[in-house]
Amino acid sequence: MPALKYSRQREAIRHFLMTRRDHPTADTVYTCLREEFPNISLGTVYRNLTLLSDLGEIRRISSDSGAEHFDGDLTPHQHFICSRCHRIYDIRIDRIATLLDDAQKTAPGKVESCRLNFYGICEQCATTSKA
Amino acid sequence: MPALKYSRQREAIRHFLMTRRDHPTADTVYTCLREEFPNISLGTVYRNLTLLSDLGEIRRISSDSGAEHFDGDLTPHQHFICSRCHRIYDIRIDRIATLLDDAQKTAPGKVESCRLNFYGICEQCATTSKA
DNA sequence: ATAGAAACAATAACGATTACTGATTTTATT
DNA sequence: AATAAAATCAGTAATCGTTATTGTTTCTAT
C-alpha cells in the first residue's frame, strides 16, 4: 500500500459523495465534478473511487443493471432497489450481527461482511404504472 | 411473453447448469458447451441464460468483480464469496422470511426478494497465504 | 412436405471500466 | 523560495462483459 498523496480531485470526489443522499455512479460523479474541474478525467474518477472504497471511506454498491454505484454513507444500512426504475433507497435492518454469526456456522472461511439488497417495486413506480 | 420454442442449445445450457455445483459465468458455459456444440455462439449462451433466469429456472448471481455467475440450484440458499479468489460457495441461512418482513417495515415499496451475500477469505486461501 | 416463426451463428456495436502515456502537482529536502 | 522525486493527473486507447443486428437454420403446426 503506497503512501497516499493529497489531491484536490480526490477530496472533491469524497466530499461530493458525502453530501449526496442518492447513490451516484462513476459517470454521475464525473459529470457533476466537471463543473468544479472542467477537465477532470473519467479515469481519475474511477481511480479515486476505487482508492476510496479500498480505504473503506466509501461503499461500492453492485446494483446489477449496468454500472456500479457509490455510497458515502458508512453507517450500517441496506438497500432497497426498485426492479423497475433501479433507484436505490436506504433501509435499515437490525440483526445484521446475528446474520453474520449464522453464516459463520456453515461458511467455508472467515465471514467478514455481508451485503444485503432487497428488491421490489418502489411506491413511485407502483403508482405511476396504475395509470 | 412469446411462446418458447424447443432448442437443443437451451436444453444443453440448462442441463449443464443443473449438473454443476460451482457457479459458472456465461463464458465458462460457452467454453464447456463448445465440446458438444463446436460452433455454438456466445450470443446464444447469453440469450438463453437471460431467458432461463427470466423464467426463474436458474439464478443469476452478481458477484461483483467482473462477470455475472449463474446457478442452477433453485433451493433457497445464499453465497459466501471469497474476497481473494472470488470463488462462490453455497451456504444456508434460515430466517430469510423474517428478513423480508423486517425490510418491509421501512421499505419504500413492496419487497419481493432479497439477495444476501457474505464476504471473507475462504479456508483454502487462508491456508495457502500462510506459507 | 411446407410455410411461418423462433432460434441460431457470426459478427458488429455498445457501455462500463482499466491501462497507458507524457504532462502536472504535491511533498520532502535544500 | 528553488528543486527533485514520486504520486497524480488529463487524455486517450484498449479491454471486457454484454447486447443488438443480420442473414441462415431449425422447430412446429398445418
CATH code of the domain covering residue A27: 1.10.10.10
Measured in degrees and rounded to the nearest 5, phi and psi for residue A12 equal -65, -40
A80 and A45 share one domain: no
Q: Flag if A80 and B121 touch (Cβ within 8 Å).
A: no
A49 and A80 share one domain: no
Question: Which residues does chain A have within 8 Å of residue B119's beta carbon, measured at their own beta carbons?
Answer: 111-115
How is residue B75 written as a grid cell? 433451493
Q: What is the pLDDT of residue B90?
A: 96
Q: Are the CB atoms for A93 and B96 separated by under 8 Å?
A: no
A47 and A101 share one domain: no
A30 and A63 share one domain: yes
State yes or no: pLDDT of B122 exceeds 60.
yes
Q: Are the CB atoms for A48 and A54 separated by under 8 Å?
A: no
> Is the model's pTM score more than 0.75?
yes
**pLDDT single digits (tens) B59-100:** 999 887 789 999 999 999 999 999 888 899 999 998 898 999
Q: Are the CB atoms for B57 and B84 separated by under 8 Å?
A: no
Task: Scan for cell 487462508, then name that residue.
Answer: B126
**pLDDT single digits (tens) B13-60:** 999 999 999 999 999 999 999 999 999 999 999 999 999 999 999 999
B80 and B66 share one domain: no
Q: What is the pLDDT of residue A64?
A: 75
B13 and B37 share one domain: yes
B91 and B119 share one domain: yes
Domain assignment of residue B97, given as a range:
75-131
Cα–Cα distance for residue pair B5/A76, rounded to 1 Å: 47
Question: Which residues of chain A fall below pLDDT 50?
Answer: 131
Given A73, A90, A116, which residue is the final one in a domain? A73
Across the interface, of B62, B82, B93, the residue whose CB is closest to A99 is B93
Given A47, A73, A99, which residue is the final one in a domain? A73
**pLDDT single digits (tens) A120-129:** 999 999 998 6
A102 and A67 share one domain: no
B23 and B66 share one domain: yes
B92 interface with A at CB cutoff 8 Å = yes
What positions of strand C are covered by protein, i.e. any atom < 7 Å from a CB?
5-12, 15-20, 25-27
Across the interface, of A106, A114, A120, the residue whose CB is closest to B119 is A114
Given A57, A73, A89, which residue is the final one in a domain? A73
Amino acid occupying residue B49 = L
Check which CATH number belongs to the domain holding B103 and give it.
3.30.1490.190
The Å distance, CA of B43 to C1' of D22, is 13
Task: Scan for cell 418502489, then name that residue.
Answer: A122
B102 interface with A at CB cutoff 8 Å = yes
Q: Are the CB atoms for A57 and A14 separated by under 8 Å?
A: yes
B80 and B70 share one domain: no
Burial of A84 (0-12, 13-18, 19+ CB in 10 A): middle
- How many domains, in total, are found in chain B? 2
Where residue B131 falls among pLDDT bands split at 50, 70, 90?
Answer: very low
B53 and B96 share one domain: no
Task: Scan for cell 461503499, then name that residue.
Answer: A59
Measured in degrees and rounded to the nearest 5, phi and psi for residue A28 equal -65, -45
Q: Are the CB atoms for B72 and B18 separated by under 8 Å?
A: yes
Q: How far is B102 from chain A (nearest CA, A)?
A: 7
A48 and A99 share one domain: no
Cα–Cα distance for residue pair A116/A107, rounded to 1 Å: 16
